[in-house]
């Protein structure tokens, strides 16, 4: 497991290559995709049903799948601990890049 701190990034454009490097394991990436897609499903269900308590599941599902990928397969520390906003953005950009064929699904 990697314990060294990543360098300081001042923009998402600088951060995203590092983010992809930290998601080189295909299983880790796929777990991120599953978590992100489930988050979208939960948000849609919450809006349609107006059962707002479901919003509590969003971080559990989103982070749960991602962290299993990092600790179980990638063997590294999630970047979200140091870069929470950039990491959240990275999740969605990586999902978009997978759907558009820019990176392997």
Percentage with pLDDT > 70 across the chain: 94
Q: pLDDT of 77-89, one tens digit each?
A: 999 999 999 999 9
Q: pLDDT of 44-62, one tens digit each?
A: 999 999 999 999 999 999 9
Q: pLDDT of 30-44, one tens digit each?
A: 999 999 999 999 999
What is the rounded CA–CA span in Å between residue 98 and residue 76?
Answer: 21
What is the rounded CA–CA span in Å between residue 60 and residue 79?
Answer: 17
**Who contacts 56 (Cβ-Cβ below 8 Å, separation ≥6)?**
none
């Amino acid at each position: 497991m990697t314990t060294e701190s990543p360098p300081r990034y001042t923009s998402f454009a600088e951060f995203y290559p590092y983010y992809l490097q930290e998601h080189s394991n295909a299983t880790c990436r796929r777990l991120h995709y599953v978590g992100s897609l489930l988050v979208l499903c939960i948000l849609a269900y919450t809006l349609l049903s107006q059962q707002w308590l479901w919003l509590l599941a969003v971080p559990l599902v989103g982070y749960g799948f991602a962290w299993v990928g990092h600790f179980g397969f990638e063997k590294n520390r999630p970047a979200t601990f140091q870069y929470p906003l950039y990491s959240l953005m990275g999740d969605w950009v990586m999902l978009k890049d997978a759907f558009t064929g820019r990176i392997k699904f």
